[in-house]
Chains A and B, each alone.
Chain A
């Protein structure tokens, strides 16, 4: 029986060795995305005025190569979600959307690179519903890892 056990350990050992030898060269790191710097916009609980134009800015990084990002602004009149920023904003009463702002855009970072500042100019239309909104950024790297961040904002008159 001892002989057989020895064979097994040998097999197990070769297996482990075989498996641990080629673990190089794959990207296991997610990109990062943050508005937590002086120019980052919008900050949590920001109030955006209808008719005004704002520069939406967020800093992204990756260990290898950034690929795409997206910005999604949608209403939170039903309080369906909350942001991941420090501190809670006071939400207005729940209401029904009539003509909410829907901003859905994807962008590619053609130059790749390991750092990139998102800077998109968005004008808040004059006729959209005011109230609680949610701004979500997301970024992917060339491998397919993704990071997201979201911010509670308000659109006011």
Chain B
């Protein structure tokens, strides 16, 4: 195809040179700058002249006299171009290249609303995270990058793993969605991190509040929705290679991605590899209870890891249909701190300090394979969306075999393994019965099959099936006032399987005799749940200010571990006891969001009030089971209030200052821990950010300096077995720039980032290692280079 165009273009080019008359003509070709395809039907307008470009992009203007002409060439989706031509003999053919308009719409919308306007109109409070934000703020994990968003924090397990926390709630209360499919792994686990490649993500929508209506169970506290990537332009080929190096954990990472599209078919692929050593903390010893752990060269012993990810997408787009299938695989292996993992203090004959890059015991490894298919079909007035997903999560925890209680020394290192298969099918139909109504009806189904292995027992094998149906209507009262109302009903069934210890325990019977039995840890049991979710929201726009109010009821189905745990978690040194009588968690929330945006100033505030009717909580009791403290899953009423505040101002166009504050207050208002907060409560925190944009500095194009100063208050609100955490202040700085290395090509992007500039020793209350008094990572210099390319 491109050859044909090229030859036609060449013929036209040759033709134009042979013309030489008194009445002159302009001949030219209009093309798209990015992929050199002809711009068909471009308008060429000047004083007394007007024409269109043909199917090949060619145009001719006849009967011109010898003079200078100025005309403007415009085409849909492109930035118009104005050129001046001196018309005379021996004119060469003009080649006009039009660049894409900055806001290319992915699909042509009937109503010409910008996506910003749509976000303003919908009563659902979402926060959009762009590729630009991700690139500028990239940290070691996706969630660490997102924690710069007010109201979002993370639970980190070392330097390479983290899980999302929204307004103080995490684990299974935040749904992570990728390509329309809920990411399903072992989210309930303390030392589990999110298995998603953070490279190649273009757009993330964050909902900071209950969103069961749209996303079902688990979205009770919020959603991190990783959107499918944009469909590339026809006849395009683009890609990038990113190389990153870090000083603190000696990380080296490479990620390369390409996207290509002919006409209707498009493809994308990405490979990512990261390898890192133990991370360094600004202390040479760790004091945990009465123990003292000396650190070798500030290395947090055995926290090295690696990650290898691959993904491939194949898509097809035509009139009325759009479909893409994405295969991805994330494989990671991380060591755990050798001296104490969780709360258990360990000594070992392993020579951990011989290398800071080896991964010795204890460690975990995980492989997450995922296939998703997203298909959108337009039939008449109905926009149908079908999302299919299959996920296989295979996670293993290995540690040195050690006898515990009545358990003799196991024969291998595989303490636990989980193999979870999840099948998902989502369907939705969006239609407009009248101009004022946008109605969406849908169905979500999911089937999970969880298998266990290893010598340690924590959660049983189970099968889980859930179905939810929902409908909502966004009603336009007038163009500035919208109402959204919806409801949803979910039913679910969890079938747990029986498990018996592989070793005998000593049991003293009432009659004084002693028996040795294989204790039963879980039973064959099927439990059914059903729950209603509702939501009512208003959105009102007045001039530059938007107001949103939402009130809703969300739910979460109890997990198999909450229902049927019955075993010692040696990492946490606790005996975890499930409760088969737990009800689905119900939460009511009132959300407010006010945003005022002017050209060089914006301010926003988003407070919330939240009541949990029955928050499922792992309560530390006063009792022992075989000398291990019993923690039991119980339900308590919880009251929470908090919110975020953001402001941003631009001074003299070059200097931008952003400030944000986040705060959550939680109280258990019933149950054994009445008056206490919830575990992992993030403290009051604010982020001050200053950005200065230079014009040009030496050979740097568009250089930017960014300084981020985080001030976090002490966390005095704790619940057993937590410790209070002091406040801290940390400064991060970065320098971003473009460099024209290759002429006639896209500029190279470079980022130098200095984290924890003063090597401050501080503790993060929501870090997994906080419990054993491990401070956060010390100073880190990272250098990231991205080489984009295009054809």
Contacts and interface: CB of A to CB of B under 8 A. Distances in A.
Interface in A44-87: 67-72, 74-75, 78-82, 84-85
A102 interface: yes
Given A80-B402, A84-B289, A149-B290, A25 B626 contact: no
B515 interface: no
A81 to B, nearest CB: 6
Interface stretch (B86-94, B427-435, B522-530, B671-679): B671-679
B624 A68 contact: yes
B220 to A, nearest CB: 22
Interface stretch (B58-66, B125-133, B580-588, B615-623): B615-623
A79 B622 contact: no
Interface in B406-428: 406, 408-409
A78 B620 contact: no
Interface in B577-633: 594, 596, 601, 603, 605, 607, 619-629
Contacts of B673: 143-144
A12 B645 contact: yes
Interface string B620-655: 111111111100000000000111010000000000
Contacts of B506: 102
A79 B405 contact: no
A5 to B, nearest CB: 8
A15 B506 CA distance: 54
A80 B624 contact: no
A148 B345 CA distance: 12
A18 interface: yes
A141 interface: yes
Interface residues of A, number: 48
A25 to B, nearest CB: 6
B405 A146 contact: no
Given A146-B721, A148-B289, A72 B622 contact: no
Given A4-B603, A102-B406, A146-B620, A19 B665 contact: yes
Contacts of A4: 594, 596, 603
Interface in A1-32: 1, 4-5, 8, 11-12, 15, 18-19, 22, 25-26, 28, 30
Contact of B629 (A80, A82, A138): A138
A132 B116 CA distance: 69
A138 B624 contact: yes
A84 to B, nearest CB: 3
B189 interface: no
A71 B471 CA distance: 58
B289 A74 contact: no
A70 B403 contact: no
B188 interface: no
B603 A1 contact: yes
Contacts of A148: 289
Interface in A99-147: 100, 102, 104-106, 108, 136, 138, 140-146
Nearest to B666: A19
A80 B645 contact: no
A23 B619 CA distance: 20
A108 to B, nearest CB: 8
B624 A70 contact: yes
B291 interface: yes
A142 B347 contact: no
A97 interface: yes
Given A102-B406, A146-B721, A80 B346 contact: yes
Interface in B648-694: 661, 663, 665, 667, 672-673, 675-676
Given A1-B603, A15-B663, A140 B347 contact: no
A67 B622 CA distance: 6
B541 interface: no
A28 B672 contact: no
A84 B290 contact: yes
A81 B291 CA distance: 11
A68 B627 contact: no
B409 A25 contact: no
Contacts of B787: none
Nearest to A140: B622
A46 B645 CA distance: 60
Contacts of A18: 641, 665
Contacts of B403: 74-75, 97, 100
Interface of B: 289-291, 345-349, 400, 402-406, 408-409, 506, 594, 596, 601, 603, 605, 607, 619-629, 641-643, 645, 661, 663, 665, 667, 672-673, 675-676, 718, 720-721, 724
16 contacts: A15-B641, A15-B642, A67-B622, A69-B624, A74-B404, A81-B345, A94-B349, A97-B403, A102-B406, A104-B406, A106-B624, A140-B624, A144-B621, A144-B622, A146-B720, A148-B289
The 8 A-B pairs with the shortest beta carbon distances in the complex, nearest first, are: A67-B622, A84-B290, A70-B627, A106-B624, A144-B620, A72-B627, A26-B675, A19-B665
